[in-house]
Amino acid sequence: MSTIANIFKNKSKKPVISFEIFPPKRDELLKNIDATLAVLADMHPDFISVTFGAGGSVTNSATVEIASKIKKLGIESVAHLTCLNYSKAEILTMIRNLEANGIENILALRGDRNPNVPPKHDFAHACDLIKFVRENSSLSISAACYPEGHPEAESRVSDIRHLKEKVDAGATHLISQLFFDNDIFYRFQENVKIAGIDLPVDAGIMPVVNKAQIERMITLCGASLPVKFQKILTRYENDKVALFDAGMAYAVNQIIDLIASGVDGIHIYTMNNPRIADKLTSAIKNLF
By the criterion CB under 6 A, which residues form the site for ligand FAD? Answer: 51-53, 80, 82, 107, 109-112, 125-127, 144, 150, 152-153, 158-159, 162, 165-166, 175, 177, 204
- Which residues contact residue 1 at a Cβ distance below 8 angstroms, ignoring those fewer than 6 apart? 71, 76, 104
Please give the Cα distance from 186 to 261 (Å, whole number).
9
Length of the chain as a residue count = 288
Pick 172 or 249: Cβ nearer ligand FAD: 172
Query: Which amino acid, one-letter code, is at 108?
Result: A
Report the 10 Å Cβ neighbour count for 172: 17
Minimal distance, residue 106 CB to ligand FAD, in Å:
10
Pick 117 or 256: Cβ nearer ligand FAD: 117
Pick 150 or 279: Cβ nearer ligand FAD: 150
Among candidates 70, 49, 44, 18, which has minimal Cα distance to 255? 18
Minimal distance, residue 96 CB to ligand FAD, in Å:
19
Query: Which amino acid, one-letter code, is at 65?
Result: E
Minimal distance, residue 231 CB to ligand FAD, in Å:
26
Pick 201 or 243: Cβ nearer ligand FAD: 201
Burial (CB count <10 Å: 0-12, 13-18, 19+), residue 260: exposed
Pick 104 or 159: Cβ nearer ligand FAD: 159
Please give the Cα distance from 179 to 15 (Å, whole number).
18
Among 20, 76, 104, 148, which one carries the catalytic annotation?
Answer: 20
Minimal distance, residue 219 CB to ligand FAD, in Å:
13
CA trace torsion 35, 276, 108, 67 (10° rounding): 10
Pick 111 or 207: Cβ nearer ligand FAD: 111
Minimal distance, residue 251 CB to ligand FAD, in Å:
16
Minimal distance, residue 253 CB to ligand FAD, in Å:
21
Burial (CB count <10 Å: 0-12, 13-18, 19+), residue 31: exposed
Query: Which amino acid, one-letter code, is at 231?
Result: K
Clarify whether 20 is annotated catalytic: yes
Q: Tally the C-alpha atoms within 13 A of residue 138's C-alpha that lie toward its C-beta.
A: 4
Q: What is residue 15's three-state secondary structure?
A: coil
Active-site residue set:
20
